[in-house]
């Protein structure tokens, strides 16, 4: 791996712990103005100091994140479908590598749709992006299973999808936590982060998910709704940081949340 690629990765995955708290805010690319992310600037600014990386599209980056911020950017570069369509898997690459470099991002992200009618298209999109990434020193994150594919959230499916992504050359893979997650992590020889999915009922559910994912081989999270749809998003991200970077237990994370909730942003 070249110096530039290594340097970009170590801005996102912190060398001190080998872990990362990535804040996902790229939902609008197919979901539109998702609840609580209607005004991305307002929601993201208080959270950026606590995020090791923020995942957005170029439109949200240019309009809603001040270039003064030092937070590394994970740029979503796939799209082409919306929630109005039954089939979300019909995606192409929407953003050029030149624009990603112009925006000084630390990695680019693309979804793959294993087992769908656009499986081959999404895997070829990933392979073309990896080819470009290797040329320009840009890490590529492959994202497994969004939308309806989430229904297949089991270790058999996710370990297949994550392994395919790693075999094609993705440098980081994002997936979902599931029962027997260790099987997914063991079969994926690149850093694996977990998304949160739709908002869970309680903070405790979120902390359990993060804690268990880390115990079973994830190196962190790339999480959105369970942070910014919470009424106390800053307390939430601080508590998740405690688990990821300070090896906090679920109980300790609850204490961090309790200490920080209700504080003025």
Site for ligand 5RP in 122-151 (CB under 6 A): 143, 146
* Closest distance to ligand 5RP from the beta carbon of 31 (Å): 7
* Closest distance to ligand 5RP from the beta carbon of 3 (Å): 28
- Residue whose CB is less far from ligand 5RP, 173 or 195: 195
**174 classed as catalytic:** yes
Closest to 112 in 3D by CA, of 120, 122, 121, 102: 122
115 dihedral zone (left: phi>0; alpha: psi -120 to 50; beta): left
Q: Residue 253 to residues 184, 236, 262: CA-CA distances in angstroms?
A: 25, 9, 16
Cα distance between residue 174 and residue 213, in whole Å: 12
Q: Are 211 and 250 in contact (CB under 8 A)?
A: yes
Closest to 228 in 3D by CA, of 96, 73, 54, 89: 54
Tell whether the torsion through CA atoms of 151, 154, 157 and 158 is positive or negative. positive
Site for ligand 5RP in 51-70 (CB under 6 A): 55
Task: Pick one of 8, 27, 163, 238: the residue that binds ligand 5RP (CB under 6 A).
Answer: 27
Q: Of 23-31, 82-90, 184-192, 233-241, which segment contacts ligand 5RP by CB under 6 A?
A: 23-31
- Residue whose CB is less far from ligand 5RP, 55 or 244: 55
Q: Residue 100 to residues 15, 58, 74, 129: CA-CA distances in angstroms?
A: 24, 8, 9, 12
- Residue whose CB is less far from ligand 5RP, 55 or 112: 55
Q: Of 20-28, 99-107, 129-137, 202-210, which segment contacts ligand 5RP by CB under 6 A?
A: 20-28
Catalytic residue among 156, 174, 238, 264: 174
- Residue whose CB is less far from ligand 5RP, 24 or 178: 24
* Closest distance to ligand 5RP from the beta carbon of 122 (Å): 13
* Closest distance to ligand 5RP from the beta carbon of 176 (Å): 8
Tell whether the torsion through CA atoms of 108, 112, 117 and 123 is positive or negative. positive
36 dihedral zone (left: phi>0; alpha: psi -120 to 50; beta): left
Q: Of 8-16, 46-54, 82-90, 192-200, which segment contacts ligand 5RP by CB under 6 A?
A: 192-200
Cα distance between residue 76 and residue 24, in whole Å: 10
Cα distance between residue 122 and residue 147, in whole Å: 14
Site for ligand 5RP in 200-259 (CB under 6 A): 222-226
Q: Of 40-48, 120-128, 157-165, 195-203, which segment contacts ligand 5RP by CB under 6 A?
A: 195-203
Please count the other Cβ atoms lying within 10 Å of the Cβ belonging to residue 1: 11
> Applying CB under 6 A, which residues contact ligand 5RP?
24, 26-27, 55, 143, 146, 195-197, 222-226
Question: Which amino acids are annotated catalytic?
Answer: 174
């Amino acid at each position: 791996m070249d110096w530039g690629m290594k340097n970009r990765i170590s801005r996102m995955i912190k060398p001190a712990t080998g872990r990362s708290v990535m804040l996902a805010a790229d939902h609008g690319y197919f979901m539109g103005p998702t609840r609580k992310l209607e005004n991305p600037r307002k929601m993201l600014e208080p959270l950026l100091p606590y995020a090791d990386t923020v995942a957005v599209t170029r439109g949200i980056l240019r309009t809603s994140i001040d270039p003064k911020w030092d937070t590394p950017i994970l740029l979503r570069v796939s799209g082409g479908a919306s929630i109005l369509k039954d089939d979300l898997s019909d995606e192409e690459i929407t953003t050029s590598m030149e624009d990603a470099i112009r925006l000084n991002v630390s990695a680019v992200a693309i979804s793959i749709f294993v087992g769908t009618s656009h499986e081959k298209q999404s895997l070829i999109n990933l392979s073309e992006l990896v080819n470009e990434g290797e040329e320009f020193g840009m890490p590529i994150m492959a994202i497994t299973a969004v939308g309806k594919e989430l229904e297949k959230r089991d270790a058999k499916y996710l370990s297949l999808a994550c392994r395919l992504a790693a075999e094609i050359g993705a440098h980081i893979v994002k997936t979902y936590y599931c029962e027997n997650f260790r099987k997914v992590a063991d079969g994926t020889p690149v850093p694996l982060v977990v998304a949160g999915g739709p908002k869970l009922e309680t903070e405790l559910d979120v902390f359990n998910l993060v804690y268990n994912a880390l115990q079973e081989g994830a190196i962190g999270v790339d999480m959105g709704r369970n942070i910014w749809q919470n009424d106390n998003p800053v307390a939430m991200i601080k508590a998740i940081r405690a688990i990821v970077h300070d090896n906090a237990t679920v109980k300790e994370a609850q204490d961090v949340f309790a200490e920080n909730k209700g504080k003025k942003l």
